[in-house]
């Protein structure tokens, strides 16, 4: 009973801070995206494709969450956009409190239109923690099981977009992309599903066009 009460208190406080983050983003017309996945699904590679495709049309800032190192921040920073590293240590997710601490840095960057927040690679904990984002995007690669949405339903039910990534590897795996899509939509019928390859660039333009459209709708 005590453990449940403690968890509820932590999540309640997180949601309170997330509401403040969301108000900050809304006031400044910043479209914030929380990118989640298991380790190695291709979150950083996806940003490496999306950032150069979008940066000439919208001012982008990136927050990188990792247990250790700034390796991913350096990868994304090569494209000339501001990047802020959050090193979480043992914490297996970003939370609203982490993000609240980087808001002054976001404001220093000027008129940011798109904030991409790459969460720690984990399919469990990030599902519970609202960061104040306008959109949550979950990445799943074809190197994983197509039953993953059924095994980790919370992350799929709490997301708005599913990116089925690494489709260039489909011929080398037993992954059934239609079954993966069906399993995900069983959990969350409102998911927008995209298929991408960060190696070939396939599907990236479609995903970026969708994000731009969502940004425009959010500003109305």
d(CA 2, CA 204): 46
Say what the pLDDT of residue 185 is.
98
Query: In 3D, which of 216, 205, 202 has the Cα closest to residue 52?
Result: 205
Say what the pLDDT of residue 160 is.
98
d(CA 190, CA 209): 18
Task: Per-residue pLDDT tens, the chain, 220 aa: give them.
Answer: 445 555 678 899 999 999 999 999 999 999 999 999 999 999 999 999 999 999 999 999 999 999 999 999 999 999 999 999 999 998 899 999 999 999 999 999 999 999 999 999 999 999 999 999 999 999 999 999 999 999 999 999 999 999 999 999 999 999 999 999 999 999 999 999 999 999 999 999 999 999 999 999 998 7
Look at the chain and report how many structural domains it folds into: 1
**Alpha-carbon distance values, 91 to 63, 122, 146 (Å):** 16, 10, 27
Say what the pLDDT of residue 1 is.
43
Helix (H) or strand (E) holding 209: helix 204-219
Tell me the pTM.
0.94
Domain of residue 186 covers 2-219
Q: Which two tokens stand for residue 21?
A: 């983050």
d(CA 113, CA 55): 10
CA torsion angle 38 72 50 168 (round to 10): -50
CATH number, domain with residue 6? 3.40.50.300
Query: What does DSSP assign to residue 87?
Result: E
CA torsion angle 52 30 20 116 (round to 10): -10
């Amino acid at each position: 009973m005590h453990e449940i009460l403690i968890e509820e208190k932590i999540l309640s406080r997180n949601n309170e801070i997330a509401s403040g983050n969301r108000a900050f983003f809304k006031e400044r017309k910043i479209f914030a995206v929380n990118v989640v996945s298991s380790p190695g699904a291709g979150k950083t590679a996806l940003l490496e494709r999306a950032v150069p495709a979008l940066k000439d049309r919208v001012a982008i800032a990136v927050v990188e969450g990792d247990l250790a190192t700034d390796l991913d921040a350096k990868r994304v920073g090569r494209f000339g956009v501001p990047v802020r590293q959050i090193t979480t240590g043992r914490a297996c997710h970003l939370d609203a409190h982490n993000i609240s601490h980087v808001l002054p840095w976001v404001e220093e960057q000027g008129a940011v239109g798109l904030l991409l927040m790459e969460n720690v690679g984990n399919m469990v904990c990030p599902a519970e923690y609202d960061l104040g984002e306008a959109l949550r995007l979950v990445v799943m690669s074809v190197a994983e099981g197509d039953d993953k949405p059924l095994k980790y339903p919370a992350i799929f039910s709490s997301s708005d977009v599913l990116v089925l990534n690494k489709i260039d590897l489909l011929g080398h795996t037993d992954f059934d992309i239609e079954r993966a899509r069906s399993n995900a939509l069983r959990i969350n019928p409102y998911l927008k599903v995209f298929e991408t390859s960060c190696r070939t660039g396939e599907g990236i333009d479609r995903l970026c066009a969708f994000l731009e459209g969502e940004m425009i709708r959010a500003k109305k």
